[in-house]
Structure 1
């Protein structure tokens, strides 16, 4: 960074930061929020999916589900280690909230979260059996793929590198879900599977946040975002709709 350039100008020009010592307070707060949201969502997602492993219709499905739980937990740990460089106690963090906690199925909380639990709102809803879990994993897996592409370009280099390593793992989870749904369509009632799509679609869509975020430009200036929420959501919608239509289903 040029000596006569402020850190704000440096970041706005596409600069990157590499360690906690040169991270300004406002940037740190937003970076920690980003990491916390990811870690909380991965831990909550893994916990919810763990409860459904034994509902798998066969050994291969149960192995795939168990692997997803393991990898999501490992992804959380990868980012939690970066948070540890900012003073977060990873061991205490992993146990600070009941990650299996869920709301009622018919709850409607939009995109709301709390400071104590920053999981995306979609991970507050319960899974209703194996088929429902496969549908949710497909829709959310496609959303995560879009989000990973965005977050792999953040200006905090260690986190960007972590997200680039995580991206193909999460992409594979979505592929497994697509394969699982295709198999379910051979034996399960299509209307029931479509009902799951209709249930999860708006809840996954809400995970992209508000289309009119007041902090959008500020986050862009810090290099923590590049694309508007509405554009990310539109990309997810178009790509996921195509996947569903290929399976003979419709977007919710």
Structure 2
């Protein structure tokens, strides 16, 4: 099989392994700076938005200190408000008075990076950060990307999809709290959301995990009916519950394979 030359790198950012794999045919003098800039962007996001990092903008907000007027900060907080409303408050970036956009920020950062790579001429790429994945273009000439949805608790691949343009966000590997009680939610195994915007998918996955099985299945059905986002829910006993579109994508994957 013919492959793209491209370039790939794996590094630790935000406390997790992050990989950036570019397959577009570009000279090394262009690829290396692109990947350098990609990881610089992700580190800037971590330094700016981590509520645990002293002197980050979120940390400063939580401690009543002045912040810099950063357009990205305003954008993220505005989107978090919109997503809170869209999920009936189940996605909440402020719990017990503490601001924490972590349920959105990773997906948002990867989505922004993916768009930047496209604008720079690197339209064939895959970005993976702790199981949240964004793919665009082709893995090889004429070939879609092969994307596995992993169970964050067991690392087992639950589904394999093939796609040229897709975002997948999974919630369940890290603590998610019920925004109404502030208590850790553990009634589901994991929630994976597939759709065109990884930041939105990330927030939806977080919200549904917080909802618990009954409300999550209802919300997932509503999302699927709207058409843009599909969901796979893994229950605590290991059983899977998926919206109809997941089966359609998996069937395409089998044909592509």
Report the structure, 1 or 2, having the larger helix content. Answer: 1
**If the TM-score is normalised by the length of the shorter chain, which range does it land in?**
0.3 to 0.5
Which is bigger in relative contact order (C-alpha 8 A, separation at least 6)?
A: 1
**What TM-score comes out, normalization by structure 2 length?**
0.32
